[in-house]
Amino acid sequence: MTLNATNGRVDGSHQRRIDRGAVERAAADLLRALGADVDAAALEETPRRVADAYAELLTPQPFRPTTFPNDDVYDELIVARSIPFHSLCMHHLLPFHGVAHIGYLPGERIIGLSKLGRVVEYFSRDLQIQERLTTQVAGWLQRELEPKGVGVVLEAEHLCMSLRGVQKLGAKTVTSALRGVVRDDARTRQEFLALTTRTNHEQ
Ligand SMILES: [Zn+2]
């Protein structure tokens, strides 16, 4: 998936084409293969519900990533903590969910804080792995904002891990992508990581 931000708008022109009829048939096949009686009244609507659910989970909402000139020359970290997100693991088609912490040191442009959540949401609506989601969000901010630095930390519970095998329920996977001064300048990196660590302890 590539992000089309032409004219400053993240549109859905690249979105995958979802064939709902085929998804419904496949869901019915899967149920049969799992030994379920697809003719039972309780399962009658299940293939359609499955198709609706996957379509929603895999369809990113377009949004306008409005940025503003940094007229006040704000030159400290801007951090949005504990942005909730959920996505779909591409290896098991099971959800992973958690929170994102995003910080950037602005250059000439700043972005509305609510848009940070929209960016995470946008890339979450895909068959994902957490590492890729993390770097996609960081890369997008780097490209669109050209900040002096950016940091993205994702903490998530993967149902494919916590519901299977020996993994404990609630175990978190943490990934990070640091760019520019957030990666290279020790003081800025410390500040960013301290802010996200403090959040961890509060939860
Ligand atoms: Zn998985």
Q: In angstroms, what is the span from residue 138 Cα to ligand 1's centroid?
A: 22
Q: In angstroms, what is the span from residue 96 Cα to ligand 1's centroid?
A: 8
pTM: 0.88
Does residue 7 have a pLDDT over 90?
Answer: no
What is the model's pLDDT at position 162? 87
- The β-bridge relationship of strands 173-180 and 149-158 is antiparallel
Instruction: Name which of 4-13, 69-78, 148-157 the model is least confident about.
Output: 4-13
Average pLDDT, the chain: 89
What is the model's pLDDT at position 15? 64
Q: In angstroms, what is the span from residue 72 Cα to ligand 1's centroid?
A: 44
Q: In angstroms, what is the span from residue 66 Cα to ligand 1's centroid?
A: 34
SS3 91: coil
The residues, any chain, with a CB within 8 Å of residue 29's CB and separated by 6 or more, are none
Q: In angstroms, what is the span from residue 176 Cα to ligand 1's centroid?
A: 18
